[in-house]
Amino acid sequence: MLEISNSFLFQTMLKSAVLLGLSAGMLGVFISYQRRSIEINALSAGSFVGILILFLLSSLGLYISPYIFSQVDKHIYSFTGSILGILIMITILNILYKTNRLHPHIIQSLMTAVLLGVGITLITSIKQAGGALDSGIDIYLFGETTSLTDEEFHFLRIITLTVILLLLLFFKRLRVVVFNIDIAKTTHFHTMFYVHLINVFVVCLVALSVKLMGVFLAVSVFLIPAVTARLWSNRLFNIMLLSGFFGGLGGGIGAVIAGNISHVSSGISITIVLAVMFFISLLVAPKGLLGVWIRGRK
């Protein structure tokens, strides 16, 4: 255990999970009040399919021109595919919102189901075909923190720390934008800048979390900490800090569990730890069941 804990790989894995949990937890508070929880699922599914399609295209490229395509790191395909998949998903969702009267949540759920179906079909095809691409493709199902390269870890560190810093710096204006977009639009500050800032954070963090948490559980690192924190406070700033704390703690403990128990993916262990924290809070937090029961008796 000590040997594993001191290893460089474990340190990287732990730091990645804590930073992702911290930043996604803080961002998750804004996302949940924008009622975008289901959208995160749809974006994760878009990212998943994007990664798989780029993997398939790269294998085709490798076949056509082995010299050029063998020089490109497989991880570049995964992140580029992830970002492209999310952006294409956002475009499709926006077109669907504008062209019919269905509730956005229905559209998001529909697209999630369709893309997960496409993704699972693709992953099955890749595994059946075998070859170099087959190795490691499973990590996108339930996530794996150990799969991060040094470059990816540095990239994750820059992205997550930037998200945390900007959320703290622009908290005041982000709060107005998330509370009521119409009120925000009548103020002198550029509302759409803050709306797009949140969108950029979402795209970056979903792309990172699909690799660490997997396509099915990426949403948990955004939403479970936010919902848990809501049980402890009534003020958005405190909720944001608490959510970051719960996300970071859940990420850290989950990564330790995944690092010490073989065959447990980090996405699963982190989600279980976050869920345990939620259920404990649901019982003992001021706005939890015990708090409600005590207030009821008074």
Partner 1 sequence: MLRTYSSKEHLEQLNVAVKIENLTVEYNGRATLFNINLDIPSGVLMAVLGPNNSGKTTLLKTIAGIDKPSAGNVYIYSRPTHALKNDIAYVPERNFVNWDFPINVYDLVLMGSYNRLKRVEAPDTKDKVSAREALERMGLDTISKKSICDLSRGEKHRALIARALVQDARIYIMDEPMIAADEESINIIIDVLQELRHKKKTVIVSHYDFVTIPRYFDMVSLLNVRLIASGTTEDVLTEENFEKTYGMSAGMIKNIRLYMEESHAGNK
Query: Footprint of partner 1 on this chain (CB under 8 A)?
Result: 33, 35, 98, 169-170, 172-173, 175-176, 178-180, 182-183, 185-189, 230, 233-236, 239
At residue 188, φ and ψ (nearest 5 deg) are: -80, -15
Please, which residue, 128 or 186, has the CB nearer to partner 1?
A: 186
The least CB distance from residue 180 to partner 1, in Å, is 6
The least CB distance from residue 186 to partner 1, in Å, is 4
Please, which residue, 27 or 239, has the CB nearer to partner 1?
A: 239
Place of tokens 């001191």: 6
Please, which residue, 52 or 177, has the CB nearer to partner 1?
A: 177
The least CB distance from residue 101 to partner 1, in Å, is 8
Terminus-to-terminus CA distance in the chain, angstroms?
A: 49
Handedness of CA 159, 86, 44, 50 (dihedral sign): negative
Per the structure block, which two tokens stand in for 18?
């804590």
Please, which residue, 70 or 180, has the CB nearer to partner 1?
A: 180
Q: What is the Cα–Cα distance from 58 to 46, expressed in whole angstroms? A: 18
| Helix %, strand %, coil % of the chain (to 5) | 85, 0, 15
Q: 269, 249 in Cβ contact below 8 A? A: no
The least CB distance from residue 239 to partner 1, in Å, is 5
- Specify the amino acid at residue 19: L
3-state secondary structure of 232: coil
Please, which residue, 105 or 185, has the CB nearer to partner 1?
A: 185
Per the structure block, which two tokens stand in for 80?
């580029």
CA 137 to chain centre: 18
Which helix (H) or strand (E) element contains residue 285? none
Phi-psi category of 35—alpha, beta or left, where left has phi over 0 and alpha has psi -120 to 50? left
Q: 21, 220 in Cβ contact below 8 A? A: no
Q: 226, 243 in Cβ contact below 8 A? A: yes
Q: What is the Cα–Cα distance from 55 to 122, expressed in whole angstroms? A: 10
Per the structure block, which two tokens stand in for 254?
């989950």
Please, which residue, 188 or 263, has the CB nearer to partner 1?
A: 188
Place of tokens 């790989």: 9
The least CB distance from residue 84 to partner 1, in Å, is 28
